[in-house]
Structure 1
Amino acid sequence: MQKLNFTRSLAGGIAGAFTRRQAAWCVAAALAASAAVPALAQSSTLKIIPHSNITVLDPIWTTAYISRNFGYMIYDTLFGTDIDGKIKPQMVDKWSVSKDGKTWTFTLRDGLEFHDGKPVASEDVVASLKRWASRDTFGGQLAKVTDKYQTPDAKTFVLVLKEPFGLVLEALGKPSANVPFIMPKRVADTPGDTQIKETIGSGPFVFKADEFRPGERAVFVKNAKYKPRAEAPSGTTGGKQVYVDRVEWLIIRDAQTQMNALINGEADILEQPAFEQYASLRTNPDIQLIDAQPAGNQFIFRFNFLHAPFDNEKIRRAAMIAMGQEAFLKTQVGAPGLTRYCKSMFPCGTPFESTNTGDYSGVANPQKAKALLQEAGYKGEPVVLMRPTDLAAIAKLPLVAKQQLEQAGFKVDLQTMDWQTLVARRAKKDLPSAGGWNAFMTSWTSSDILNPLTMAMMNAAGDKGWFGWQDDAKLQDIKTQFTKAATEADKKKLAEQAQLRAFETVTHVPVGQYSQPAAVRKGVSGLVPAGAQVYWNIKKQ
């Protein structure tokens, strides 16, 4: 995997403290003492407004970022990716590779323990990796060349390959969805297409299932038995130090109510402010903007390959040509300095960025799209386009897509729902008229789409692929060649081939690049830029 060119210049340090009313001298000493108790308790509780509601607690079953973020709270990983894109060990203490590059031996570090008190063992790791590989694009490529796993003892696991695979550590240390989180074997034995029933990890926080209220809050407490690494935190690597006793995710769906809660001190971090709120937040002396995803994000439009009309490549191409990035970025973001036109599938500013995009220009051309649509024999089938109304970061995108597609001659059935319903529905292969779908829109952090192996939309393995279920042996073969590339120049060439093939078959449409910094109250420090949203290392005064 190529080096992540994360931007190091953040929005400055976070300092200061919450403003509090000073106790009047006339207040009785007993009342003043009793008031001090909730104040101290408050300082040990970090309150976060996440970017969406959470109902799916399985970060392997879905690529939804809220589930990934949940995973980082309670699970740990074998390796991680630091701020410079380097892979470093986490749960692993040491490892070695045979001379022929086909046998990888790993030893777990001491003190790893699941939240139920049982030690983490090599059999837990193997079961977790197998389940992850059944769902993840990168993991699937690794699984294809894996001959067998061995567990010679409780702390050692061995990966025996059929042939050398130069990206083993990059796969095991990938920072974003799907992340190879380690679960107990009894949990990891759950088939990948079935959601897990237990949420037991070995990570820095323990999930309070008894306090979980979907649509209201999720609660985590510090894992007192967790043993952080000694290194400083960097990306998803290093010491996962926890300085608060409790973390509460407050599920607030209305954007204005979210901002009010932050400004009034009822929340400490607003993960993704509405784009129109940035102008006001920048002028608020109690708020600091911190970019925890400094490499940026990309909006995309995804097709369902199983059903008409998008089972027809020409019709997908017509839809692609109908879409232009300017309208998406202006409508959804609008805020100055936060957007970037980028027609490359691999984010602009990253190693595999390429302007070689075939028919795709990123500029809407409704006349050309209409002609192609007629040539393809479009019969007026309605396009069921799902729109999440409660996820402000992408809620306006489908409105733009509907307008641009209709200008090209498509009939669009825009169906609104909350994000968690969309996440569940996009996993269904039913006919659109029977509860299925034709298209949806989402966004990806750059760390997820840096190369052909990490990009879910390039998972063209049919039923085993990402939602949309494209089946394209040629694209899969290019990805396999990518895993064997010996030089950076060869990887660059193959990444471009994969992109051209993806545009040729129209896997998806990139509709613009953007940034969305978190809003953080002063007095809260230590938010780690990671290519994923992580909440260790944070101190609250």
Structure 2
Amino acid sequence: MKHLKLAMLVSAALIAWQPFAFAQQKGGVITVATVGEPPTLDPMVSTADLVGIVSQHIFETLYTFDANWKPTPLLASALPEISGDGKTYVIKLRQGVKFHDGSEMEAKDVVASLERWTKLASRGKQTATMIQKIEAVDPLAVKITLSAPYAPLVSLLAFNNSAAIILPASKQAEPLTEFIGTGPYKLKERKPDQYIQLERFDGYQSPSGDSNGYGGARHQYLDEIRFVPVPDANTRIEAAISGQYDYVDSLPVESYDRIKASTASEPVMLKPFGMALFVLNSGEGITKNKALRQAVQAALGDEDMMTAAFGSKDFYSADGALYPKGFAWNTQDGVEGHYNVGDPAKAGELLKQAGYKGEPLRILTSRQYEFHYKMAQVAAEYLKAAGFTVDLQVVDWATLTQRRSDPKLWDIYITHSPFLPEPSLIGMLSTSAPGHWDTPDRAKVVNPFNAESDPQKRVALWADVQKVIMDEVPFIKVGDFNAVSAKSKKLDGVAPAPWPYFWNASVKK
């Protein structure tokens, strides 16, 4: 199928998943230190990685990604049957899959869940513009009818972020009040700002086949998984070195050598992990003005921000292309003159064109991701030199994700993203995502890219999308970086992954 050909173009080296040949033991409880308290456990309504890391153990989607970032069945029994015109997808479901309440998953649950997704999720809303009908054609088959071919559909259904999770048809509350999924672990207890405790779901029906990235068999060696918010980066470092937690997520890269020397833990590095981003508010406020967004872009010295955030080039690369070398999507189109400019005089001229009158430029950042904060500090100085009045707002990550959903409250927020196998998964490309980039030039390039099914043609069309992004500045890529986490030397079955998962993890006894 055409979407499989596309997936083969994506670098297979994104995640260095390795098979685990040893015999793993069942039992035990692990504690995972995260960067903070997730704002919700409903992954439909959030694009925060923190939400996806926890919720992917509770909820599942129709598809997921294997180790080579190809879509693979999860709750579906096979990849979809796609009509010749690319407008009809028939998705057959696995039989005997149970929800945590004991009920069995059927097509009616999938239809209700996908309808909720198209209404509530930013990526679901993006997809809804292409969907004519979602219907059950028998108890174990669903048909999605599109108004036009839409190449990203399967990848969107596979993504765990703004995710098309499947819930019981009777439990579709808005907001979600019962967290009933089909995943290998179910919610046992949540104490906000203390922990989220998951326990093994004994009725779980695993996909068949060997474990393969996020796909294949999902084992349940552990009895329970406890996620604990540890917002302070230095506290996470010391906890990793001492072995206080079994897994510690998102550590500053400068801690790598100290963790490597630890007798209790070892570093886990994902190289390259993804890109650091400044998202600009294109929908409201002063940054709605394109010339002002261009002034921000012209003011910033991206390499200085990456140096401040990561120190050694062992951990970062100053690269303006939205995908690095090794990806089919890599192109330098539009990059020259728009990346690492650091020109306050040019920025000042653009501010005059924008009619800027000294209004505060509100930048949201968080110290829970310490590299975000370090980039923000450098950016603030560059922007002040260009003539901006900077209002740097340092908040916890949960507050940031709440504030960015209200376009009246911010002008820029700082975030990051893994390199995603399908560019349409990049959240900012959706008009309903925070930032609300919705211009005629966007539509002229993004819509043809999404409609094209030929892989080679899509690569060429992506270059056009990147050029418009560089010109209209809905977001700014600061650079590429590696991610560092830590795991206990007693923890087996955990491989580097952008959203770490623990259904295949076990504890050495």
Fold in common (TM above 0.5)? yes
Corresponding position of 2:460: 493
User: In structure 2, do the counterparts of structure 1 residues 287 and 265 end up closer, same or farther at CA, with 3 Å as the change threshold?
Assistant: closer
Unaligned runs of 5+ in 1: 17-39, 431-435
Choose from 289, 311, 314 the match for 2:267: 289
2:477 pairs, out of 497, 503, 510, with 510
> 1:486: Cα distance to partner?
4.2
Does the CA contact (< 8 Å) of 1:14 and 1:523 recur in 2?
no
Q: Distance in 2 between matches of 1:336 and 1:308?
A: 36
Q: What letter corresponds to residue 382 of structure 1 in structure 2?
A: P
Q: 1:13 offset after TM fit, Å? A: 9.7
Alignment of 1:163-178 (within 5 A): 163-174=148-159, 176-178=160-162
The question of whether the paired residues in 1 share the 8 Å contact of 2:45 and 2:121 is answered with: no
TM-score, normalization by structure 1: 0.86
TM-score if structure 2 supplies the norm length?
0.91
Alignment-mate amino acid for residue 454 of structure 2: T
Q: Which amino acid aligns with 2:319?
A: C
Residues 365 and 413 in structure 2, CA contact (< 8 A), matched pair in contact too: yes
Q: Distance in 1 between matches of 2:173 and 2:52?
A: 19
Which of 449, 455, 466 is the equivalent residue of 2:426?
455
Residue from 94, 105, 128 that aligns with 1:120: 105
Paired positions, count: 498
Distance 1:353 1:458 in 2: 17
Supply the AA of the counterpart residue of 2:143. V
CA contact (8 A) 1:216 1:252 kept: no
Q: Quote the offset at 1:312 in angstroms.
A: 1.1
User: Which deviates the most, 46-55 or 310-319?
Assistant: 46-55
The residue correspondences of 1:134-145 to structure 2 (distance < 5 A) are 134=119, 139-145=124-130
Deviations 1:298-343 (A, max 9, x none): 1111112244321211111010111122111111111441101110
Cα gap change, 1:395 to 1:495, in 2 (>3 Å): same
Residue type of the alignment partner of 1:354: T
* TM superposition shift of 1:10: 5.1
- Match of 2:486, SS? strand
- Equivalent residue for 1:4? 10
3-state SS of 2:57 partner:
helix
Say yes or no: does 1:355 pair with 2:332.
yes
Return the alpha-carbon distance in structure 1 between the equivalents of residues 456 and 14 of structure 2. 26
- Structure 1 distance, partners of 2:306, 2:21, is 33
**Letter paired with 1:48:** V
Give the direction of change, closer, same or farther, for the CA distance of 1:98–1:354 in structure 2 (3 Å limit): closer
Match of 2:416, SS? strand
The answer to whether the 8 Å contact 1:137/1:454 transfers is no
Alignment partner, residue 434 of structure 2: 467
Is the Cα–Cα contact under 8 Å of residues 17 and 67 in structure 2 kept in the other structure?
A: no
Higher Rg: 1
Q: Does 1:364 align with 2:342?
A: yes
Farther off after superposition, 485-494 or 515-524: 485-494
Find the aligned partners of 2:496 and 2:59 in 1 and give their Cα distance. Answer: 18
| Contact 2:298/2:342, CA 8 A, preserved across alignment | yes
- Does structure 1 retain, via aligned residues, the 8 Å contact 2:272–2:483? no
**C-alpha displacement of 1:476:** 2.6
Give the one of 161, 179, 182 matched to 1:202: 182
Which residue is equivalent to 1:33?
Answer: none
Matched, 1:439 2:416: no
User: What SS does structure 2 have at the residue aligned with 1:496?
Assistant: helix
Pairwise CA RMSD of aligned residues? 2.5
How many angstroms apart in 2 are the aligned matches of 1:203 and 1:105? Answer: 23
**Partner Cα distance (1:438, 1:158) in 2:** 40
Rounded Cα–Cα distance in structure 2 between residues aligned with 1:196 and 1:231: 32
Q: What is the SS of the residue equivalent to 1:394?
A: helix
2:35–2:368 CA contact under 8 A, matched in 1: no
The aligned residue for residue 180 of structure 1 is 164
Q: Deviations over 1:93-119 (max 9, x none)?
A: 144333444332222112211111111
Residue 345 of structure 1: aligned partner: 322
Q: Could you tell which deviates more after superposition, 131-140 or 236-245?
A: 131-140
Q: Is the 8 A contact 1:475 1:501 kept in 2?
A: yes
Partner-residue secondary structure (3-state), 1:483: helix
Amino acid at match of 1:397: M
**Matching residue's letter, 2:402:** A
1:489, 1:12 → 2: CA distance? 30
For structure 2, the residue ranges without an aligned partner over 5 or more in a row are 1-5
